[in-house]
């Protein structure tokens, strides 16, 4: 997959929508050429839509269903197409309105979630970050992706989001690869304070923190892209060029299985604190 190409889950969703359009066309008794002629399109456009090569805009769906005498299906098809587009959003597009807005955009999701599961193979999870660590991460985002420079406002928004940790009736499970603890983000002091904060968080009653040791036999628990699970309803994954939102139950089940396998090779409690302290000692 190239950096700008959508992942297989998006392509599969587009293919499924294309199949629905093809079925609607066949039920109407029309050929793809006839639909294209009636719509004033080149025949290749009908082929691209039916084969899921592109997500159709609202207007094309309305034209398609009108020609095929299936207007009653237009609203559902449009909602499906919009959902596919929302699955895969490039970081540059997402961050164009400011980093603060990105941080605030997930607040409703955090507010309604009861069971949180986070796996991180790159940085400390956002809910466990200190202010200085968050600032260093977002400074890097600005430098790498030319994002708007509202870093201080975004830091404040992320710190505000952490209040969900202190609300009752919620469970939090964090899995972190050990090399994340040893990757210096910001300065050595920033990392030392961040790691000290992590140690303190291991005492939180509704919070589980697992560290996957370097050198552990991986078995089926291979490293993966960072992802967050919100109950059994949504997964957000972090790709190099974009964010991916997964809502299909079968795909969520795959992430749940992956999380369970990764959790099985992690260490917890005193063993996790020992690895964190080792990372602190390595800072000198």
Whether residues 115 and 248 fall in one domain: yes
Regarding whether 237 and 127 lie in a shared domain, the answer is: yes
Q: Give the pLDDT confidence of 169-223 residue by residue, as tens digits.
A: 999 999 999 999 999 999 999 999 999 999 999 888 899 999 999 999 999 999 9
* 54 lies in the same domain as 120: no
Q: By C-alpha distance, which of 86, 81, 97 is closest to 49? A: 81
- How many other C-beta atoms can be found within 10 angstroms of the C-beta atom of residue 123? 19
Establish if 269 belongs to a structural domain. Answer: yes
* CATH number of the domain within which 62 lies: 1.10.260.40
For residue 159, the enclosing domain spans: 96-282
Between 89-98, 100-109, 183-192, the lowest mean confidence (pLDDT) is in 89-98
Question: Which pTM value belongs to this model?
Answer: 0.76
What mean pLDDT is predicted for residues 242-262? Answer: 88
Of 27, 57, 89, the one marking the end of a domain is 89
Segment 3-31 mean pLDDT:
81
Structural domain total, the chain: 2
Residue 185 contacts residue 224 (beta carbons within 8 Å): no
Is residue 150 a part of any domain in this protein?
yes
Give the angle 191-116-252 at the CA atoms, nearest 5°. Answer: 115
Q: Give exposure, 73-95, as e/b (b: 16+ Cβ within 10 Å).
A: ebeebbebbeebeebbebbeebb
Q: Specify the CATH number for the domain of residue 127.
A: 3.30.870.10
Domain stops at, among 89, 105, 125: 89
Q: What is the mean pLDDT of the chain?
A: 90
Structural tokens at position 24: 């609607």
Answer yes or no: is pLDDT of 264 > 50. Answer: yes
**Residues comprising the chain, all counted:** 284
2 is a domain residue: no
Residue 23 sits in the same domain as residue 105: no
The residue with greater pLDDT, 153 or 90, is 153
Would you state the pLDDT for residue 7?
A: 56
Confidence of residue 9 (pLDDT cuts 50, 70, 90): low
């Amino acid at each position: 997959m190239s950096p700008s190409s959508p992942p297989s889950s998006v392509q599969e969703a587009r293919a499924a929508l294309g199949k629905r359009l093809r079925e609607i066309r066949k039920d109407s008794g029309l050929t793809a050429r006839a639909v294209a002629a009636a719509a004033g399109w080149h025949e290749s456009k009908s082929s691209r839509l039916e084969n899921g090569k592109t997500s159709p805009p609202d207007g094309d769906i309305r034209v398609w269903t009108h020609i095929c005498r299936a207007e009653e299906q237009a609203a559902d098809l449009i909602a499906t197409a919009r959902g596919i587009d929302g699955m895969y959003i490039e970081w540059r597009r997402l961050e164009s309105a400011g980093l603060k807005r990105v941080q605030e955009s997930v607040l409703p999701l955090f507010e309604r979630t009861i069971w949180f599961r986070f796996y991180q193979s790159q940085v400390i999870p956002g809910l466990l970050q200190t202010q200085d660590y968050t600032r260093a991460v977002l400074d890097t985002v600005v430098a790498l992706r030319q994002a708007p420079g509202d870093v201080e406002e975004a830091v404040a928004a992320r710190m505000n989001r952490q209040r969900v940790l202190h609300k009752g009736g919620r469970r939090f499970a964090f899995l972190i690869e050990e090399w994340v603890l040893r990757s210096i983000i910001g300065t050595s002091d920033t990392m030392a304070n961040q790691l000290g904060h992590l140690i303190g968080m291991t005492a939180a009653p509704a919070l589980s923190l697992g560290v996957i040791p370097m050198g552990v036999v991986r078995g089926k628990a291979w490293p993966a892209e960072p992802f967050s699970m919100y109950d059994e309803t949504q997964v957000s994954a972090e790709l190099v060029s974009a964010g991916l939102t997964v809502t299909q139950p079968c795909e969520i089940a795959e992430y749940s299985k992956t999380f369970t396998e990764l959790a099985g090779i992690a260490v917890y409690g005193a063993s996790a604190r020992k690895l964190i302290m080792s990372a602190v000692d390595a800072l000198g």
